Structure 1
């Protein structure tokens, strides 16, 4: 194994382990919140599906890419390769859709009562489950043809061009046709991204106007604290900005892979790394910004210490 393959393999391994640990930790915290009787927020259902989508991307992209970089040649088979790539595409799409739903829902929740979105405040929570179901269904159907273009091994007996992407090969029939097909597949992503940016802009505008209105209260308050809605909005804005940054980088690298006839080793691995960045980082952002987690951890530590003191006496 060459030093560069070992180095990139260790980077993939670190990223994959961090993603698995982060998503399972966030899932455990939600179980802890549920069983301790805390009331779940309306956005928690979307976040739970985001955890599932993140885990799909980490396991279907990060794990095989790590194994390929470290020289593991026995995995996956052709069927497993097609399945992994399909799960990766579905998980990636649901990540986009879930983040989009979070931003839209939060923009509706914090909108003023006299705005045109005020009547949606009551209807929006009832539409969350249906929206998530449609999100999964949409990306499962859109990507159902993807496995046709993916092979585990290079097929020398065909006249079709193929590109090496680490642990799989992708067919390249015609650049124009492939570009149109890629544009068709990217349309749901672009739509979600546009809605996400619109909702984020609306949230920033609402927060700014609210800050201007209550500025005199902040001046007279000795210990000003933001409202729960404001903290939740800031968390979602941070999540959206992180997603847009990694998604933009990933798209640029993927476009380069499509345009270049021969994909370089560096470009292939950087594109794979950028794809798994958001599913690996987003759980830590959510855990660091969720005040319920810190309160529950404090209560758990305090109760543990109390039981220890009582047992010692």
Structure 2
């Protein structure tokens, strides 16, 4: 085995192991809390969906790239490869959607009592289950477009080429496929990212104004409550900031891979490592 393949394989294996342990440990904590107390805070419920989505990304992408790095090129057939790619896209879409929902909900929660968002603060927890269920159903349906498109393209007379994953074949470039991907996947992700940045900025402003109002109040109860709210919000903001940073970088790198006919070994692997950073590190910003 090549030295660089062994090194990348160890990196992917480490990332996958840490990510799975982090996401599953927090999922277990939330599930135990739910079955013992029969209730979960809205933010915790959103986080359970986010960690589930992160686990899908780590399982699918981590498995594919780890096995490839260790030279197991034929460990999975073509159907299995496309299924893992589907799971990877589904997990990415849900992770972005839940991060957006979490950021917006937290911004609404800490908004002033006289804010126009007060009505949403009351209604949001009641519709949380419906929103997350619709997200799963919608993204499961939307991401089915691409496996079906790949199947149709491969059975046509158009030529295909082997991607750098070696055991997965990808249809050749065409305008329809690129336009479809941009409209169905890229544009909603950009929209969600803009909303995340807006809500995060709103939280910063709200916290700053709140701190200015209470800085002369010396009541222990108020100080304790303010401290608790601030810590919880800061954790969410750290999570969102990490998401935005790694997502922006991975999107740029994935764009480079998509625009390159046969991307290089380093580009493909660095892109995969960066895209797995948020699912791996995310749970460590949200300890219950």
Matched, 1:51 2:51: yes
2:194 alignment partner in structure 1: 194
TM-fit CA distance, 1:24: 1.3
Residues 166 and 97 (structure 1 numbering): CA distance in 2 closer, same or farther, change over 3 Å?
Answer: farther
Query: 1:34/1:28 Cα in 2 relative to 1: closer, same or farther (>3 Å)?
Result: same
Change (3 A) 1:205 1:166: farther
Task: Give the superposition deviation at 1:162.
Answer: 4.8
Are 1:47 and 1:98, in contact at CA under 8 Å, matched by a contact in 2? Answer: yes
- Deviation of 1:224 after TM superposition, in Å, equals 5.4
Q: Secondary structure at the match of 1:164?
A: coil
Matches of 1:67 and 1:13, distance apart in 2: 9
Cα distance in structure 1, aligned partners of 2:166 and 2:215: 55
SS of 1:170's partner is strand
Structure (1 or 2) with the larger CA radius of gyration: 1
Contact 2:160/2:169, CA 8 A, preserved across alignment? no
Map 1:13-92 onto structure 2 (within 5 A): 13-37=13-37, 40-92=40-92
1:3 aligns with 3
Any gaps of 5 or more consecutive residues in structure 2? none
1:103 aligns with 2:103: yes
2-structure distance, mates of 1:272, 1:166: 15
1:179 aligns to what?
178
CA RMSD of aligned residues (A): 2.4
- Aligned-pair CA distance for 1:284: 1.6
Aligned partners of 2:202 and 2:70: how far apart in 1?
45
Q: Secondary structure at the match of 2:171?
A: strand
Q: Contact (CA 8 Å) 2:56, 2:91: kept in 1 or not?
A: yes
* Worse-superposed segment, 78-87 or 39-48: 39-48
Q: Take 2:186 and 2:141, find their aligned partners in 1: how far apart are those partners?
A: 13
Alignment check: 8 A CA contact 1:161 1:173 kept: no
Measure, in 1, the Cα distance between the counterparts of 2:273 and 2:81. 18
| Alignment map for 1:234-253 (pairs within 5 Å) | 234-253=234-253
- In the TM superposition, residue 36 of structure 1 has moved relative to its aligned partner by 4.6
Q: Distance in 1 between matches of 2:162 and 2:187?
A: 24
User: Hey, what's the Cα distance between the residues in 1 that align with 2:172 and 2:18?
Assistant: 34
- Hey, what's the Cα distance between the residues in 2 that align with 1:216 and 1:148? 62
The offset of 1:38, in angstroms, is 8.3
CA distance in 1 between partners of 2:120 and 2:256 (Å) = 41
Distance change (3 Å), C-alpha of 1:216 and 1:54: same
Shift of 1:235: 1.2
1:272 aligns with 2:272: yes
- The whole-number CA distance in structure 2 between the counterparts of 1:228 and 1:119 is 23
Offset, 1:120: 1.6
- Following TM superposition, by how much is the alpha carbon of 1:124 offset from its aligned partner in structure 2, in angstroms? 1.0
1: CA distance, partners of 2:127 / 2:166:
40
Deviation string 1:21-72 (CA, Å, 9 cap, x unpaired) is: 1111112222333345385211111111112111111111111210111011
Deviation at 1:208, TM superposition (A): 0.9
Cα deviation, 1:204-227, whole Å, max 9, x if unaligned, reads 111111111112236x97x95444
CA distance in 2, matches of 1:39, 1:142: 31
Superposed counterparts of 1:228-307, under 5 Å: 228-287=228-287, 290=288
